[in-house]
Chains A and B, each alone.
Chain A
Amino acid sequence: MKQLLILSGKGGTGKTTVAGAFIQLADAKAYADCDVDAPNLHLVSDWTEAPTRSDYYGLPVAQIDNERCIGCDLCRTHCRFAAITVQEAYTVHPFACEGCGVCSYVCPAAAIRMEPAVAGEHKLYAAENTVFSTAQLKMGSGNSGKLVTEVKKQMRQHAQTADLAIIDGSPGIGCPVIASVSGVDLVLIVAEPSVSGISDMERIVQTARKLGAKIAVCINKYDIHPDYSEQIARYCEKAQLPFTGRIPFDPAVVRAVNAGRSVVDIDCPAAEAIRQVFENTLPYVFA
Chain B
Amino acid sequence: MKIAIPVEENTLDAKVSSSFGRAAYFLIFDTQSDEARFIDNPAINSTGGAGILSAQTVVDAGADTLLTPRLGQNAADVIQDAGMQVFQSKEGTAKENIEACCAKTLKVLEEIHEGFHGHGNRE
Contact = CB atoms under 8 A, between A and B. Distances in A.
Q: Do chains A and B touch in the complex (CB under 8 A)?
A: yes
Interface of A: 57-59, 143, 145-146, 148-149, 153, 156, 175, 178-183, 210-212
Contacts, number: 49
A182 B114 CA distance: 9
A148 B48 CA distance: 12
Q: Which of B113, B117, B121 has the most CB of A within 10 A?
A: B117
Contacts of A145: 47-48, 117-120
Nearest to B70: A183
B37 interface: no
Interface in B76-123: 113-114, 116-123
B120 to A, nearest CB: 3
Given A153-B123, A156-B123, A182 B116 contact: yes
A210 B113 CA distance: 11
B22 interface: yes
Nearest to B47: A146
9 contacts: A57-B45, A59-B47, A146-B119, A153-B22, A178-B119, A179-B116, A179-B117, A179-B119, A183-B122
| Range class of the B interface residue count | 10 to 19
Interface in B10-64: 22, 45, 47-48
A153 B118 CA distance: 15
A183 B113 CA distance: 9
B120 A178 contact: yes
A128 B31 CA distance: 44
Contact of A58 (B22, B47, B120, B121): B47
A183 B19 CA distance: 11
A182 B120 contact: yes
A175 B48 CA distance: 11
Contacts of B117: 145, 175, 178-179
Contacts of A143: 47
Contacts of A181: 116, 120
B123 to A, nearest CB: 6
B121 A183 contact: yes
Contacts of B122: 182-183
Contacts of B119: 145-146, 148-149, 175, 178-179, 182
A211 B117 CA distance: 9
Contacts of B48: 145-146
A74 to B, nearest CB: 26
Nearest to B118: A145
A143 B121 CA distance: 15
A58 B122 CA distance: 20
Given A58-B47, A59-B47, A143-B47, A149 B121 contact: yes
Contacts of A156: 123
A183 B47 CA distance: 18
A146 to B, nearest CB: 4
B47 A211 contact: no
Contacts of A149: 119-121
Contacts of A146: 47-48, 119
Contacts of B123: 153, 156, 183
Contacts of A178: 116-117, 119-120
Q: Which of B22, B119, B121 has the most CB of A within 10 A?
A: B119
Given A58-B47, A59-B47, A179 B120 contact: yes
Contacts of A182: 116, 119-122
B32 to A, nearest CB: 36
A18 B122 CA distance: 25
A70 to B, nearest CB: 31
B114 A212 contact: yes
